[in-house]
Amino acid sequence: MTKNIIVYKDFRDKGYIINPGIKFGCDFAVYQKGPGIDHAPYLLQVYNSTDTMSATSVVLAGRLATTVRKQFILAIPKGNKIDCLALDWWRA
């Protein structure tokens, strides 16, 4: 299975509704109830544990998520486990 399918299945198994996140520049938009019922509170980007992430790409994703009032989550599949890192942004 690809990393995206592994993460998709994990979030679906937890009861979330998953849609493509292309319009937000990420892999998935994650809903608690579903499109048309609620807004997606999370934007999800899937990485391999060996992928490199630049600080700029993380900041860009976080700023976009904040602009559309969503939380940005990095999901990293490791075997049967998914490590998730949720980023919150605030004004100093």
Amino acid at 69: R
Quote the pTM value: 0.85
Q: What is the number of domains present in the chain?
A: 1
3-state secondary structure of 89: coil
Catalytic-labelled residue, pool 8, 16, 42, 70: 70
Say what the pLDDT of residue 57 is. Answer: 86
CA dist 22 → 25, 26, 46, 78, 92 (Å): 5, 6, 13, 24, 30
Has 47 been annotated as catalytic? no
66 is in which domain, residue-wise?
1-8+39-50+58-71
Active site (annotated) includes residue 8? no
Would residue 29 count as lying in a domain?
A: no
For residue 78, what are the β-bridge partners?
A: 81
Is residue 39 part of the annotated active site? The answer reads yes
Please state the rounded mean pLDDT for residues 4-29. Answer: 95
- pLDDT above 90 for 4: yes
Neighbouring C-alpha atoms within 13 Å toward the C-beta of 92:
0
Check residue 19 and give its pLDDT: 96
Q: How does pLDDT run across 42-89, given as a tens digit for each residue?
A: 999 999 888 888 888 888 888 888 888 899 999 999 988 999 999 877
- pLDDT at 1 > cutoff 70: no
Residue 29, classed as helix, strand or coil, is strand
